[in-house]
Amino acid sequence: MYCDPDLIRNNHLRLRYNERELEELNLAVSICGEQRAQIIRNLSLEWARNLIASTPAHIVSRKSFGVVGRNGEIKYRFAA
């Protein structure tokens, strides 16, 4: 199916929604006509790419880093 084996999607994620969230997601699916998983994948990757693009390069290139809030506290810690 794929010429490039790197394009095969073998990594699974599981999400849980309450009834209202699922209803909103299903409404979006019915409006745009795409598959639910495709919409979620596109949105999450777009968010991740925007976050990476807006983070200074010296932070992204480190093996581990944290996102620091305005008060100086580390809000998120990432490790590679």
- DSSP string computed for the chain: --SSGGG-----------HHHHHHHHHHHHHH---HHHHHHHHHHHHHHHHHHHS-HHHHTSSEEEEE-TTS-EEEEEE-
What range does the domain containing 26 cover? 5-79
Distance CA(2)–CA(13), nearest Å, equals: 21
For 25-45, what is each residue's pLDDT tens digit? Answer: 999 999 999 999 999 999 999
In the chain, how many domains are there?
A: 1
In the prediction, which pLDDT does 58 show? 57
Task: Decide if 77 contacts 66 (C-beta within 8 A).
Answer: yes
pLDDT score, position 23: 96
Which one is predicted more confidently, 57 or 39?
39
- CB-CB contact of 43 with 35 (8 Å): no
For range 35-62, the mean pLDDT: 81
Residue 16 has pLDDT above 90, yes or no: yes
